[in-house]
Amino acid sequence: MNTFKVGIVGYGNLGRGVEVGLKNTKDLELVGIFSRRDPKQLDTTSPAYHIDELDSFKDEIDVLLLCGGSQKDLPVQAPQLAENFNTVDTYDNHNEIPTHFEKLDKVAKENNTVAVLSTGWDPGLFSLNRLFAEAILPEGDTYTFWGPGLSQGHSDAVRRVEGVKQAVQYTMPQEKMVEDVKNKKKVDYNKLSAHKRVVYVVLEEQAEQDKVKEAIITMPDYFEGYETEVHFIDEDTFASEHTGMPHGGTVLRQGQTSDKQTSVYQFALDLDSNPEFTAAVAIAYARAAAKLAREKVFGAKTVFDIAPGYLSPKDPADLRRELL
């Protein structure tokens, strides 16, 4: 088996997910975690370093897994690090992916590195399935449903409402619509009508339920226009039931192979831990990045550009025998 050495850049949820995920791989070895914070502060038993020390690991690391945030960290860190390292990220700002790609492609080609961007599940596996479904069933419609799953951004927004002590927001697909798509019925899909938002709130002592609820469900951009449920719970319930980071969703395509024959193509994920699964996808693409670099196929790559066999530690003959 090939073995490759990897580093983790950024130690948040995703960085911890990569650290734990690497325990499941025999062919990838963790060299170190690199953070902008004082490495002694990080709650880990893995080797940890300040990010300023990274350049001295240039010859010891085959691929860096970039675990910074998509909003502020990756647009800066990814192009910089791609100068000296092969990289994988989970950049999820869909509108800005083309720009992110162009920046990385230029740096990676100039420096003979491989930069795999926007892995994870959406973008990532969901994107792959949107592509497969559309390429195979050109006549049809694709639907993406997100959830049930915790939305970090919406939870943060609820926590900023006056009177809210703790809060989580789950995005839920409208199950009836999902079933209709599976049952080959016509549906009137839009992102708003296809999802509802379910909020669990622990109130501050003096706060009034009605006021808090009103402030949430009328919040523009976040809740306005969505079917929103608000549940008030106590702190113990919050602590025992709402501290995980579950997520998932479904990509569905109804396609006509001929006038009267329909195919339903379905891909679904149900994840106890969104960051751990996202990390697991990024890890498989880190293996792919290392193989591509060895073959000198430099530049920016997305999940669309990488043959699936690269993701596996098994060799092609074993894959054909065992999995085809």
Ligand X SMILES: NC(=O)c1ccc[n+]([C@@H]2O[C@H](COP(=O)([O-])OP(=O)(O)OC[C@H]3O[C@@H](n4cnc5c(N)ncnc54)[C@H](OP(=O)(O)O)[C@@H]3O)[C@@H](O)[C@H]2O)c1
Residue ranges that bind a second copy, judged by CB under 8 A: 17, 20-21, 23-25, 94, 97-98, 101, 118, 123, 125, 127-128, 130-132, 134-139, 182, 184, 255-258, 260-273, 276-277, 279-281, 283-284, 287, 302-309, 311-313, 316-317, 319-321, 323-324
| Phi and psi at residue 36, to the nearest 5° | -75, -15
Among 21, 32, 120, 149, binds ligand X (CB under 6 A): 120
How far apart, in whole angstroms, are the C-alpha atoms of residue 141 and residue 180? 13
Q: Which of 89, 27, 32 is nearest to 60 (CA)?
A: 32
Q: What is the DSSP string of 187-218?
A: ----TTTTEEEEEEEEEPTT--HHHHHHHHHT
Residue 9 vs 281, nearer CB to a second copy: 281
Q: Does 69 bind ligand X (CB under 6 A)?
A: yes
- Compute the distance between CA of residue 8 and CA of residue 15 in angstroms, rounded to an integer: 6
**Smallest distance from ligand X to CB 210, Å:** 33
70 binds, among ligand X, a second copy, none (CB under 5 to 8 A by kind): ligand X
- Identify the three-state secondary structure at position 113: coil
Asked whether 105 and 84 are in contact (CB, 8 A), the reply is: no
Asked if 221 and 192 count as a contact pair (C-beta separation under 8 A), the reply is no
Nearer to a second copy, 87 or 228 (CB): 87
Among ligand X, a second copy, none, the one that 127 touches (CB under a kind-dependent 5 to 8 A) is a second copy
Q: Which of 165, 171, 172, 158 is nearest to 239 (CA)?
A: 165
CB closer to ligand X, 250 vs 278:
278
Task: Give the amino acid at 264.
Answer: V
Minimum distance from CB of 185 to a second copy (Å)?
13
In the bound state with ligand X, the residue whose beta carbon lies nearer, of 163 and 246, is: 246
Among 144, 166, 169, 278, binds ligand X (CB under 6 A): 278
Contact pick of 4, 11, 85, 267 for ligand X (by CB under 6 A): 11
In one letter, which amino acid is 95? N
Query: What percent of the residues of the chain are helix, what percent strand, and what percent coil, each to the nearest 5?
Result: 40, 30, 30
Query: Using CA atoms, how far apart are residues 83 and 60, in angstroms rounded to an integer?
Result: 15
Q: Can you tell me which of 21, 32, 39, 123 binds ligand X, judged by CB under 6 A?
A: 123
State which residue, 113 or 302, has the beta carbon closest to a second copy.
302
171 lines the binding site for ligand X (CB under 6 A): no
Closer to a second copy by CB, 223 or 285: give it. 285
Q: Applying CB under 6 A, which residues contact ligand X?
A: 10-15, 35-37, 67-70, 73, 90, 92, 120-124, 274-275, 278
